[in-house]
Amino acid sequence: MSSSIFKKTIIFYMIYYSIFTGVAIGSREKIILAADYWCPYNCKPDDKNPGYLVELAQKAFEINGIDIEYKLMPWSEALLAVQEGKINGIIGLGGEADDLLTSKIPQAYSFVSTFTTKDTDWVYDDLQSLNDKKITLSLDYHLEDSIRQYVSLNYPLNPELFILENSEYSIGNAINNLLEKKADIYIEDEKVVYHYIISNNLSSYIRNAGKVDDKPLPVFIAFSNKLKTSETYVKMLEDAMYSLDATGDLHHLQKKYEVSIP
């Protein structure tokens, strides 16, 4: 084969590969992850501190030469996008989901609490204490099982007692619902609320009214089961977590964002 024919053959296969794989020759592989704002787990994409789970993903896949593209979008949109295979994964899934792939070990743990304004003395005792209270929370969040069941049973009967937020910054809207007396109770991860109220000088207005459960909720970076690469990505993430733990990098990251792992 002449050198000119050989070169043409190589170019043909390079073009063929690019068209049918969607990966440009010489470019790095990229994973698209999305979620709504849930700092300190995932913060703003352009921030030098993008969040614990974002940095964990970046470090985990950098080991394998893969880049992370992190996008902010309403949680319900991110969930639908990953379920349909339009993006690779979603950040901050509470618990497991049958239609998504997760590693055997969680990437973090969440303690879910109830929050009210400081001018009330209401405390969370059990699910019954939520009766007749107006609750604000984020649409389609995977919350602690008992809360999820409570919302599923009561929302169809009394939708006026629930404000379901659905935006990139649902937490800010939910906190405003409390401050403006549109809602009595906000149910959310403790770290997320503390981070928000401290960052926005609202600590003197918002209080923790009690944990929903003393048992932590596992949190995952979950991947689409519609994409062939997802099982490989799950394995990469899990292996990288063991490696980062062994080197001490995982502990350093947890300390940086004040995220504790039981």
Q: What is the pLDDT of residue 3?
A: 46
pLDDT-based confidence at residue 142 (cuts at 50, 70, 90): confident
pLDDT-based confidence at residue 11 (cuts at 50, 70, 90): very low
Tokens of 53: 């789970």
Q: What is the pLDDT of residue 37?
A: 95
Pick the CATH number of 33-105+223-257 from 3.20.20.80, 3.40.109.10, 3.40.50.12780, 3.40.190.10: 3.40.190.10
With a CB cutoff of 8 Å and minimum separation 6, the contacts of 212 are 112, 113, 114, 124, 143, 144, 146, 147, 187
pTM: 0.85
What are the boundaries of each domain within the chain? 33-105+223-257, 112-211
Q: What is the pLDDT of residue 139?
A: 84
**How far apart are the C-alpha atoms of 69 and 88, rounded to whole Å?**
10
pLDDT-based confidence at residue 96 (cuts at 50, 70, 90): confident
**Paired strand residues for 69:** 32
Q: What is the pLDDT of residue 28?
A: 83
Q: What does R_g of the chain's alpha carbons equal in angstroms?
A: 22
Q: Any idea of the CA torsion for 86, 89, 92, 95, to the nearest 10 degrees?
A: 100
Would you say 42 and 35 are in contact if contact means Cβ atoms under 8 Å apart?
Answer: yes
Which is more confident, 129 or 15? 129
pLDDT digits (tens, 9 = 90+) for 143-182: 778 898 999 999 999 999 999 998 889 999 999 999 999 9
**How far apart are the C-alpha atoms of 158 and 150, rounded to whole Å?**
12
Q: Which of 44-48, 97-101, 102-106 has the lowest mean pLDDT?
A: 97-101
pLDDT-based confidence at residue 257 (cuts at 50, 70, 90): very high
The stretch 85-108 carries a mean pLDDT of: 93
The stretch 72-93 carries a mean pLDDT of: 96
Answer positive or negative: Cα dihedral of 65, 20, 77, 90.
negative
With a CB cutoff of 8 Å and minimum separation 6, the contacts of 187 are 112, 113, 114, 115, 135, 136, 137, 143, 147, 212
Q: What is the pLDDT of residue 26?
A: 55
Q: What is the pLDDT of residue 103?
A: 96
Which is more confident, 26 or 179? 179
Q: What is the pLDDT of residue 262?
A: 60
Question: Which CATH code fits 112-211?
Answer: 3.40.190.10
Query: What does each C-alpha distance from 221 to 69, 184, 238, 249 come to in angstroms?
Result: 14, 31, 10, 18
How much is the mean pLDDT over the chain? Answer: 89
The stretch 207-212 carries a mean pLDDT of: 96
Residue 24 pLDDT exceeds 60: no
Would you say 79 and 34 are in contact if contact means Cβ atoms under 8 Å apart?
Answer: no
Would you say 81 and 34 are in contact if contact means Cβ atoms under 8 Å apart?
Answer: yes
Residue 230 pLDDT exceeds 80: yes
Domain pair 33-105+223-257 / 112-211, same fold? yes
